[in-house]
A and B are shown apart, each in its own frame.
Chain A
Amino acid sequence: MFSKGTKRKFSDGGEAISDESLLGARVASSYSLQRQSLLDMSLIKLQLCHMLVEPNLCRSVLIANTVRQIQEEMTHDGSWHMVTEAFCSAGQSPSERLVATEVLCRSREQDAEPKLFSVISYEGCREEEVVADETLCSVSVSNTVSNVCLAGRMGQCWEKSELSGVERDEEVLEDSRLGSGEDEEIATEDGASTESPKTIGQVFGTFEIKNGSPGPDSALEELFSDVDTSYYDLDTMLTGMQSAPKMGPYDLLDSLAPSHSSPSIVSTPNCRSDLNELDHIMEIIVGS
């Protein structure tokens, strides 16, 4: 009766409204998922800042400020409270999120279709010391972390070679990790829905977009088609951090710049892990 593009009449108002509100909800939930993804990414960066080839206080401060901004906004939204509850209660279940981050580049007023392209999943990760009133939450990786992956995909056309040098080193480590078939990565770049069912299934479990607000199929395909698992291999690094003391992000800043006159440069990864092992051995010997 009505040609395409004709404005709907009032009789269709009910449907129109629910469609609009559905669209609004979808955008809002994807925004919050993307925001969460950015928060996760930032926390990981903060945790690993000492792994950089060149330690950079400016970078850490900027990342910490970003985390604070996100946390403030989430507190304002009331969504921070829900997040902390979820984390505090779910001690054992992995908290995984499948989010996109690109829309965070744009302001909230824009309601363009978000491009979903970033996958972050923690397995066996436990968030501790999450306090709503604190400016930042700290993420401490427990001993049960066996296979944490941060697969980031930065857009359709970005090649693997354009990743930073840090990630390139991690590609070497990835091979050893992929060898253990138990927790398969989203390793292939083709075939959207045929990836390792375990990982995808876990991911789907908390993927609100799929359940609540059906996104277009193309978005989902895009999500899984080109996931680049070589982006971050945190496995070896995070297992190296098992014996690291729990610390908040500003403790990291502290470690970068102790109050005494010692230099603010951080150690090479080898030295740090050696020292941690030494500490661990000493603890056993002393029996503390």
Chain B
Amino acid sequence: CCCGCFGLCCDTVQWCFLSICTSDIISTVEFNCSGELLATGDKGGRVVIFQREQESKNRLLSRGEYNVYSTFQSHEPEFDYLKSLEIEEKINKIRWLPQQNAAHFLLSANDKTIKLWKISERDKRAEGYNLKDEDGRLRDQFRITTLRVPVLMPMDLMVEASPRRIFANAHTYHINSISVNSDYETYLSADDLRINLWHLEITDRSFNIVDIKPANMEELTEVITAAECHPHQCNVFVYSSSKGTIRLCDTRAAALCDRHSKFFEEPEDPSSRSFFSEIISSISDVKFSHSGRYMMTRDYLSVKVWDLNMENRPVETYQVHEYLRSKLCSLYENDCIFDKFECCWNGSDSAIMTGSYNNFFRMFDRNTRRDITLEASRENSKPRAMLKPRKVCTGGKRKKDEISVDSLDFNKKILHTAWHPKENVIAVAATNNLYIFQDKIN
């Protein structure tokens, strides 16, 4: 972008297709801190990591493509025979740790268990062992007459993933969030009713810092839907609820952070109240801005940006698919109203992105207030093909290239999206296809 900023503020940003990868149903997408690696988790418990090609010095203006770097099975299905309960292996969340040495570390979580994985490269191997042959068989001791020093020989690059820690048995309910703290030593994990704080080195215990389980489960009316650590203040975290509220907590205040420091809730508009008001206000994702000054929440129909210093209402509200408001009954019947969409910021916090139905995803530029709807589809998947903006026709005459609300495919939902931390490269998960788009440089 010619003015050096990201997002949509310039009309020169044109999104075009970069690559696609097909897998099992993708359940989470996450760039690492540098953007060099992109991790996806799927319903089968696998993690696939993509690495960006190094930019060629000859083609300064070209951007690297993402190729598969490592694939491993992170979680396996578990079956509790005593209770006849099955624990899904689906990866709910992946979070990268900041890179501190040559290896990469990430946390992956299914419903019950969090694992710390180390991904390291090996491009050398030792040759010339004294006690064993090249193929590993032990040499006959009587044949060893000389002593030699093994030498390191180059080999084809091998990427190994090994589990370094397994954090288990701390959650009775399904884990919906994990978040690495800015101290790089601790992280939190949240399920429907509790949030635990872990130390990355200690697996046999965790601190419970939030517990909203009522003494009598019949009184349960609200659950935790998402949680995140503040990007800079390691004592601050937020969690969202199914009633559309966000609580900001300070771990210095008390051991159990049941009492919030700040409480964010937008007053309800009484004129639009219906039986579905609470359901559509349920927050499916919460994300701090990179600056740490704002946070963004996603509910069923909108994305809201909150200033952490103002609790009584958001500073910005963006309608994702307002045309669905008149269809809430139908969406309740077929359970789509319970779909949990995620949202993300771009690197400079000037734009936000979230998914919708029909494989549409939406981007909003916070500065210009412009928004765009794009589609992740196979038809647009030619190399460097530019994405055409899409439009949903909400009533009246349908223009050419517009799609009417009733023609939307509600099985094609984009729940997971990720934005490169520094550049205009985005990853969009459309069921079992991962699309990567980047902006075209003019």
The reply on A154 being an interface residue by CB < 8 A is: yes
* B328 touches A (CB below 8 Å): yes
The answer to whether B335 and A59 have CB atoms under 8 Å apart is yes
Docked pose: A106 CA to B112 CA in angstroms: 39
Cα A162 to Cα B225 with chains together (Å): 26
Chain A residues within an 8 Å CB radius of B56: none
B333 contacts A154, CB within 8 Å?
Answer: yes
Task: Give the contacting residue for B218; candidates A56, A253, A265, A272; CB below 8 A.
Answer: A253
Which of B87, B172, B411 has the most CB atoms of chain A within a 10 A radius of its CB? B172
Residues of A within 8 A of B112 (CB): 263
B106 within 8 A of A: no
B102 at the interface (CB under 8 A from A): no
Given A65-B278, A105-B325, A164-B334; A54-B222 close (CB under 8 Å): no
Complex interface: chain B residues within 8 A of A62 (CB): 242, 278-279, 282, 338
Q: CB-CB < 8 A to A64: which residues of B?
A: 221
In this complex, which of B213, B329, B332 has the most chain A Cβ atoms within 10 angstroms of its Cβ?
B329
Chain A residues in 8 Å Cβ range of B407 = 157
- From A61, A101, A259, name the one whose CB has the most chain B CB atoms within 10 angstroms: A61
**Residue A194 interfacial (CB < 8 Å):** no
B111 touches A257 (CB 8 A): no
- A220-254 to B contact mask, C-beta < 8 Å, 1/0: 00000000000100000000000000001010011
A89 within 8 A of B: no
Tally chain A residues at the interface, Cβ within 8 Å.
56
Q: Does A268 contact B (CB under 8 A)?
A: yes
Does A69 sit within 8 A of B, measured CB to CB?
Answer: yes
Q: Are A69 and B275 in contact (CB under 8 A)?
A: yes
Cβ-closest chain A residue relative to B325: A105
> Which residues on B sit within 8 Å (CB–CB) of A265?
85-88, 111, 174
Pick from B137-145, B250-258, B266-274, B370-378 the stretch touching chain A: B266-274
Complex Cα distance A275/B221, Å? Answer: 30
Q: A254 and B218 in contact (CB under 8 A), knowing A61-B223, A154-B330, A154-B334?
A: yes
Given A41-B333, A161-B411: A58 in contact with B192 (beta carbons within 8 A): yes
Task: List the 7 closest A-B pairs by CB distance, nearest first.
Answer: A157-B406, A154-B330, A250-B218, A271-B84, A267-B84, A101-B329, A57-B192
**A-B contacts besides A102-B330, A107-B274, A265-B111, 5 pairs, CB < 8 Å:** A45-B335, A66-B276, A105-B274, A253-B218, A257-B173
Which residues of B pack against A, CB within 8 Å?
80, 83-88, 90, 111-112, 172-174, 192-193, 213, 217-218, 220-223, 225, 242, 271-276, 278-279, 282, 325-330, 332-336, 338, 404, 406-407, 409-411
What are 13 contact pairs spanning A and B, CB under 8 A?
A: A55-B174, A58-B242, A62-B242, A69-B275, A101-B329, A101-B333, A154-B333, A161-B411, A164-B335, A167-B334, A250-B217, A254-B218, A263-B80
A interface residues (Cβ-Cβ under 8 A, vs B): 35, 38, 41, 45, 54-59, 61-62, 64-66, 69-70, 101-102, 104-107, 109, 118, 152, 154-158, 161-167, 231, 248, 250, 253-254, 257, 259, 261-268, 271-272, 275
